[in-house]
Amino acid sequence: MDLNSDFDRRVVQDAHDAVWSASPLPGVDRRMLDRVGGEQARATSIVRYAAGSRFDRHVHGGGEEILVLDGVFSDEHGDYPAGTYLRNPPGSSHAPFSRDGCSLFVKLWQFAPDDEEPVRIDTATAAWYPGLVPGLSVMPLHEHDGVSTALVRWAPDTRFNTHAHPGGEEILVLEGVFRDEDGDYPTGTWLRNPRWSRHTPFTGPEGALIYVKVGAIGADFMGIGT
């Protein structure tokens, strides 16, 4: 399957409008945002676990990145409430489940070959740092070989400088409304801006909280969809 597989094009998608599709396991459904490959694929998705559902133990050949959006996600290593950020490196395995249901933002097969460190961050307690302009706060989540991932909190009526993203930019709006000169992006919107794209982002009276990854488009990830 190829979905939004041209990484030279800008994509804006409201994840709430995406179609749910069943996974191989009952009770686990997906809203696909981008995908290159079959059941084992380079993929970005919203994944929903019904209460009591579980996934068989499996190995992540290309790694797995997760942000828990709501509910509690679990595996044999622990319980991960909403706001938890996880990275399971290539070769890791687990048997995930959810007792009461949850939804996740998931990225598969998007690790550099030498990115081997597991990550577990509770964003409810992790530190925020001042951003580059007043009203902006940043929580770093991960950085490796020029690819950076963070949560960014925008106070109401904050404006950032016009800037370019040499390695592209990916955003999931978690709260509020994120904006730039091309449009307004409410909670649940997923954006992927190609390499060397430019914009002037800002917020209105609602402010915003976003997940943002920069530098990943065109990166040499291991084995796309193999």
The answer on pLDDT for 64 being more than 70 is: yes
Q: Which of 9-18, 24-33, 164-173 has the lowest mean pLDDT?
A: 9-18
pLDDT band for 15, please (50, 70, 90 cuts): confident
pLDDT at 41: 79
Specify whether the CB–CB gap between 43 and 2 falls below 8 A.
Answer: no
CATH superfamily membership of 129-214: Jelly Rolls (2.60.120.10)
CATH topology of domain 18-122: Jelly Rolls (2.60.120)
The strand pair at 20-22 and 189-193 is best described as: unpaired
State the CB neighbour count (10 A cutoff) for residue 95.
13
Query: Which are the contacts of 173, defined by CB distance < 8 A and separation ≥ 6?
Result: 185, 186, 187, 188, 189, 190, 191, 208, 209, 210
Q: What is the pLDDT of residues 83-133, one digit of tens each?
A: 999 999 998 999 999 999 999 999 999 999 899 999 999 999 999 999 999
The answer on pLDDT for 18 being more than 80 is: no
Per-residue exposure over 142-163, b if at least 16 CB sit within 10 Å of its own CB, e if not: bebeebbbbbbbbeeebebeee
Please report which helix (H) or strand (E) contains residue 220, including its range: none
pLDDT band for 39, please (50, 70, 90 cuts): low
Q: What is the pLDDT of residues 187-224, one digit of tens each?
A: 999 999 999 999 999 999 999 999 999 999 977 664 44
DSSP string computed for 119-186: EEEETTTSPPEE-SSTTEEEEEEEEETTEEEEEEEE-TT-BPPPEEETT-EEEEEEEEEEEETTEEEE
Distance CA 212, CA 190 (A): 10
pLDDT at 226: 35
* Domain residue extents for the chain: 18-122, 129-214
Q: Do domains 18-122 and 129-214 have the same CATH topology?
A: yes
Q: Which of 1, 2, 57 is nearest to 25 (CA)?
A: 57
Q: What is the pTM of this model?
A: 0.94
Distance CA 40, CA 62 (A): 9
